[in-house]
Each structure stands twice: as C-alpha cells, then as structure tokens.
Amino acid sequence: MNTKSVFLVLMVFISTTGLLQASSATGKEALCEKTASSLAREGKLDEGINEIRHCIEKGSSGAKSHVVLGYLLLEKGEPQQAMASFEKALQLRPRSSDAKTGKGIILAQQGDLKGAEAILQDALKLNPDPARTYYELGILYQQLGDTQQAVDFFKQGIASYEEEKGK
C-alpha cells in the first residue's frame, strides 16, 4: 500500500470515528457503521463492505452508513460504486461534508479538477473537522501545479488535525 493509500485509510477511519461519535443515529445504525469500520481496520475490507451493505439493505441506515460504504468502496478501488454511495448520502443529507469530500476525491481521480475543487471547497465550509478536506485540497492543488497552494492546504490540514486531536 502506498503512502497516499495509508493516509487515506487513516483519515477515513479518523473521519468515521468522528461520524460515529457525533451521530444521532439509532444504536443499531451506529453499531453497523462501527462494525464495518472495525472489520476494514482489521484488514477485512470485503467483510466490512458486506456488513455495511447488509445494514443498508435492512433499512437500518442513514446518510452516514452510505458515507462509510463510499469510503470503503473507494479504498477497495471501486470509484463508481463509491460515487453512488456518496450521492445517496447527499440525497439523504445534502450538507454532508464527508460525502462531499468523498465525491471530491473521486472527481479529482477522474481528472475533473475544477469540479473537485468546487465540491471540496464547499465541504470545507461545512466541515467541523476539516483535516481530511484540507489534505484532499492539497493533493488537488499539487495536481494543478500550484505548489504553494498545496503546501498551504497541507499545513492547514496538519494544524486542524493536531487541534482536533488536542481536544
């Protein structure tokens, strides 16, 4: 696994943990999300995906479950399915910064850098824990060749992460 993938996995689980703590979802939904994330952290990505899909199929899920599924699918290398999950999450909760960040990641991977920039900037405005979004904007500006802007966003991401970690 390359460095970007390791950071992606780390940030997904940091983000997912925050989602679970802030969730007002039912205990059953939170348990599904936590179980799926735990399986993925243990290296059982397919089992984690199956777990969260099972919960979604049973109807015991909301936007956060679709976000978790989206990030797990993204890690597995299935961007089209991940995009569908992020889109579903945005239908359920249009102001989901985590779903917008996931969508921005995919748009950037597909070469739509301007579309990715717009949605990541929007996610940044909505995000109470923006470390991941700052990181993705740093990657995006690096791809656009704007090194100074990339470095600035990476620094903001690190500061945001350290500030949240210190709380």
Span of 35-39, 66-70, 76-80, 151-155 with lowest mean pLDDT: 35-39
pLDDT at 1: 43
Q: What is the CATH number of the domain that holds 152?
A: 1.25.40
Per the domain annotation, does 81 fall within a domain?
Answer: yes
- Estimate to the nearest angstrom the gap between the alpha carbon of 18 and the chain centroid: 11
Per the domain annotation, does 43 fall within a domain?
Answer: yes
- Same domain for 89 and 165, yes or no, is no
- Same domain for 78 and 125, yes or no, is no
- Of the residues 50, 65, 94, the one at which a domain ends: 94
Per the domain annotation, does 105 fall within a domain?
Answer: no
Is 105 within 8 Å of 73 (Cβ atoms)?
no
Helix (DSSP H) and strand (DSSP E) numbers for the chain: 9, 0
- Of the residues 60, 94, 128, the one at which a domain ends: 94
Neighbours of 149 (CB within 10 A): 15
- Same domain for 7 and 86, yes or no, is yes
Give first-to-last CA distance, the chain, whole Å: 30
* pTM for this predicted structure: 0.75
- Same domain for 146 and 83, yes or no, is no
Per the domain annotation, does 99 fall within a domain?
Answer: no
- Same domain for 84 and 123, yes or no, is no
Residue linked to tokens 């909505």:
126
Q: Which of 123, 92, 94 is nearest to 107 (CA)?
A: 123
Per the domain annotation, does 77 fall within a domain?
Answer: yes
Is 50 within 8 Å of 57 (Cβ atoms)?
no
Half-sphere exposure of 77 (CA within 13 A, CB side): 2
CB-based contacts of 150: which residues, under 8 Å, 6+ apart?
A: 138, 139, 140, 141, 142
Per the domain annotation, does 101 fall within a domain?
Answer: no
CB-based contacts of 126: which residues, under 8 Å, 6+ apart?
A: 95, 96, 97, 100
Domain that holds residue 141: 113-167
Q: For the chain, how many structural domains are there in total?
A: 2
- Same domain for 79 and 18, yes or no, is yes
- Same domain for 63 and 142, yes or no, is no
Q: Token pair of 134, please?
A: 């700052």
Per the domain annotation, does 85 fall within a domain?
Answer: yes
Question: Taking the CA atoms of the chain, what radius of gyration do you get in angstroms?
Answer: 15
Q: Is the pLDDT of residue 22 over 60?
A: no
- Same domain for 50 and 130, yes or no, is no
- Same domain for 147 and 72, yes or no, is no
In whole angstroms, how far apart are CA 33 and each of 16, 63, 89?
8, 11, 14
Q: Is the pLDDT of residue 11 over 90?
A: no
Each residue's pLDDT tens digit, 51-64:
999 989 987 678 99
* Mean of pLDDT values over 12-41: 65
